[in-house]
Structure formats: structure tokens, C-alpha cells
């Protein structure tokens, strides 16, 4: 019986990893950040610095109306992407951007089959955390630190660098946003079962997984077993896996034990205590649980309020808050933009990066980013004066987590 349960949990985490973030994915870990930083060439190299300066000067001197071309993007969320395109065309009216819808679960398959069969690939490729390692190993994405892009990794949020690099440390994409996770919770349930809805006090009560387990037992007893700490064992497992930042691939050696032992142990403790719901992660029932009064905590990346919580709990405005997860935040999900190496519109494609992520011209995009509570991965964009995130539905404490 235990073997079946473990198998089910492992299956759940594979699905969870596909939807919200793999542990390694061929893109690296925190441990690799320092290594990449030590091994990378100095940004002060005269030739590269000159090329960067020339590229930036050329871009600034070019009249946006003189820039033409057609850029194709494959995206599973065409509606949101089209908002970026509309803002982009306000600045670059003569660049045509075609957003072609590709289902999330078909994306990588279509990319691989199209490439092998010699069919056209999009100019801009999206890299979900689930398949990013596979994408980067296909050798179809441009190295963004080389011409004509000259991306400077020193301008990127450091934690995002290993997540957008291949195994050789080459930056092949740029995160549309970094995705730190908190634990969202229902205020009314917190008051009833924890005695407070203050995010700092709640966070202190569940400061580590032992404390989370102890609180869960108290809530379980007080509610007569009605209220659980989280909806699915997959929520617990994925949280601890993402916190357990270890590089389990070393050349030809793979050490799953170090990566998975503690997450599985913690998950089994939660299961045995009966404090977690028995709902399949990312099923219809899992989503509908956001409107339920039977669960206290929910994994919540910075993108979750408008994309997950609001659609699934439309009557819950004002009843949600977010606190720090046990033992700290972790990365949850994420999507990169990459440029196809054989694209005939590389410069025009790069302008989309510059407008939406890098340069001061990103100002028009801020309204979109506010809607999805995005945390930008590029330092220069973070410092843009109009960049003031407004977290809807969630208390002001969200800024301490995200």
C-alpha cells in the first residue's frame, strides 16, 4: 500500500514539476550561480563593451517607425501575449507580430517535430520551466550574450541566471518574470483556527515544517477533521522539492536520493498525520478548492493572484493574505523568452525583449505587469519609476514575500 502511495505522490510531483517548475531541468541551481559567475568572462572586455555600446547607440538612433519585419511567437496564453504586442506596436507600428496559439501540453512536442521535419519554427520560443532543460539542449536558441544582442548578465536578477542558462553557462533565454512563492491563506479560516490573520504572526506559527505539522494537527483536531492545511500532498512535495536546492546531476551521475529524500519524508509525515487533503494536484477539484472553506494554505507564486486565485474564488476579495512558507520562499514556475537561432527577424525579435523587459521604454508594459503581479527579472526594469506593483486581493504584506 505504501509503495502505491509513494508512486502516486511521485507521479503527482512529475505533473506538478511540469506545470510549476522542475528541480534541475538542465538549467541549473543556486549552487551553479556562483560557479557561472566565477567562470564567465569579464564584462569589462574592451571588444564586448564596445559592441554593447554600439548596439545600444544604434537602437536609440533608429526611428521606431523605420523598423519593419514580421515576428512569430508561439504561446499558450495568446490573450496575455497580445496585450504585450499591442503595447509594442504603439512604439514600433511597422513590425508585425503574429501570436500563434499552441496548447501548453503540445508545445514541446510541436517544437521538436517541427524542427526535425524541417518546418518553420517561431522567431520567439517560450520556455516553460517544465521543458526548459530539453529546449536548451536542442541547440536551437541563440546565445543572448553574443551579437547582435550583447545581453549583460550583470543587469539580470542574479537568481534568474542559472534558470536561463544551459549546462555550459550560456544564457539562452530571459525570464519574463521571476517567480518567488508564498503561502496564500484565507483570513477568516486563519482567525477561526489560528487565532490571527496577521501575515507575520501566521508566518511565525508555520516557520518550519515541524511547526507546520504541529499547527496542522491542532487545526485538524479543532475542526473535527474538516479543515486541512493544504489541498494536495503534491502541494507539500513540490514546495519542499523547490526549497531543496541541490544539484543532483553531476556529469553522468544522477543522485536522486539527496534531492528527494527530505521532501518525501516531510510529505509522508503530513500524510500520516492526516492534515492534507486528498485531491489530485491541478485537477478540476484542486482549482475549485480555492473557493472552499476546507483548506488553509495554498502555494502562491507571484503570478497566482490574478491567474489562479481570482478566477477560482471570484467572491473572495478581501479574504486572502499571503505569508512566508515554512523555511522560506522558493521559485515556483516561470517562462523564458528565447530567440530561434535560424530566425530571419532576430533584431526585430530582440526589440520585443527590450521593450517588455529591459529598457526604459518598458513603461507602457507596466500596466500589464501590474495585472499579473509580475516580478521583473531585469534590474534596469525593476528600477523604472512607474514600476509600482499593486497586488490585488492580497494584503500589502505580499511585497515582503514577492
Residues 341 and 140: beta-carbon distance below 8 Å: yes
The C-alpha cell of 255 is what? 543522485
Predicted pLDDT at 184: 94
Between 361 and 266, the more confident residue is 266
Which of 252-266, 303-317, 366-380 has the weakest average pLDDT?
Answer: 366-380
Which of 105-114, 287-296, 323-332 has the weakest average pLDDT?
Answer: 323-332
Cα distances (Å, whole numbers) of residue 200 to 51, 171, 207, 281, 324? 48, 37, 10, 27, 8
Q: Is the pTM of this model over 0.85?
A: no
245 pLDDT higher than 80: no
Between 162 and 239, the more confident residue is 239
Give residue-wise pLDDT tens across range 84-120. 788 888 888 999 999 999 998 899 999 999 999 999 9
Amino acid at each position: 500500500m505504501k509503495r502505491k502511495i509513494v508512486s502516486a505522490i511521485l507521479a503527482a510531483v512529475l505533473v506538478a514539476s511540469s506545470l510549476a517548475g522542475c528541480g534541475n531541468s538542465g538549467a541549473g541551481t543556486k549552487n551553479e550561480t556562483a560557479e557561472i559567475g566565477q567562470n564567465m568572462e569579464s564584462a569589462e572586455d574592451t571588444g564586448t563593451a564596445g559592441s554593447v555600446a554600439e548596439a545600444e547607440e544604434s537602437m536609440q538612433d533608429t526611428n521606431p517607425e523605420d523598423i519593419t519585419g514580421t515576428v512569430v511567437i508561439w504561446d499558450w496564453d495568446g490573450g496575455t501575449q497580445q496585450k504585450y504586442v499591442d503595447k509594442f506596436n504603439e512604439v514600433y507600428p511597422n513590425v508585425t507580430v503574429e501570436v500563434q496559439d499552441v496548447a501548453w501540453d503540445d508545445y514541446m512536442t510541436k517544437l521538436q517535430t517541427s524542427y526535425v521535419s524541417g518546418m518553420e519554427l517561431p522567431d520567439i520560443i517560450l520556455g516553460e520551466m517544465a521543458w526548459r532543460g530539453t529546449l536548451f539542449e536542442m541547440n536551437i536558441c541563440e546565445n543572448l550574450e553574443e551579437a547582435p544582442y550583447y545581453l549583460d548578465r550583470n543587469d539580470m536578477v542574479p537568481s534568474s541566471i542559472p534558470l536561463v542558462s544551459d549546462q555550459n553557462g550560456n544564457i539562452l533565454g530571459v525570464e519574463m518574470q521571476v517567480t518567488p512563492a508564498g503561502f496564500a491563506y484565507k483570513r477568516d479560516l486563519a482567525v477561526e483556527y489560528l487565532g490571527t490573520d496577521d501575515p507575520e504572526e501566521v508566518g511565525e506559527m508555520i516557520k518550519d515544517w515541524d511547526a507546520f505539522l504541529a499547527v496542522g494537527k491542532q487545526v485538524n483536531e479543532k475542526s473535527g477533521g474538516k479543515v486541512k492545511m493544504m489541498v494536495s500532498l503534491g502541494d507539500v512535495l513540490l514546495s519542499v522539492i523547490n526549497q531543496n536546492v541541490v544539484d543532483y546531476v553531476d556529469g553522468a551521475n544522477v543522485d536522486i536520493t539527496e534531492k528527494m529524500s527530505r521532501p518525501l519524508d516531510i510529505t509522508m509525515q503530513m500524510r500520516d498525520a492526516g492534515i492534507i487533503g486528498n485531491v489530485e494536484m491541478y485537477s478540476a477539484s484542486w482549482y475549485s478548492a480555492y473557493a472552499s472553506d476546507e483548506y488553509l494554505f495554498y502555494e502562491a507564486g507571484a503570478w497566482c493572484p490574478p491567474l489562479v486565485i481570482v478566477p477560482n474564488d471570484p467572491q473572495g476579495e478581501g479574504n486572502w493574505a499571503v505569508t512566508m512558507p515554512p523555511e522560506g520562499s522558493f521559485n515556483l514556475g516561470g517562462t523564458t523568452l528565447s530567440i530561434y537561432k535560424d530566425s530571419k527577424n532576430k533584431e526585430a525579435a530582440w526589440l520585443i525583449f527590450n521593450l517588455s523587459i529591459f529598457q526604459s521604454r518598458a513603461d507602457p508594459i507596466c500596466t500589464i505587469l501590474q495585472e499579473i503581479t509580475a516580478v521583473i527579472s531585469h534590474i534596469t526594469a525593476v528600477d523604472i519609476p512607474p514600476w509600482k506593483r499593486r497586488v490585488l486581493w492580497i494584503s500589502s504584506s505580499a511585497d515582503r514575500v514577492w
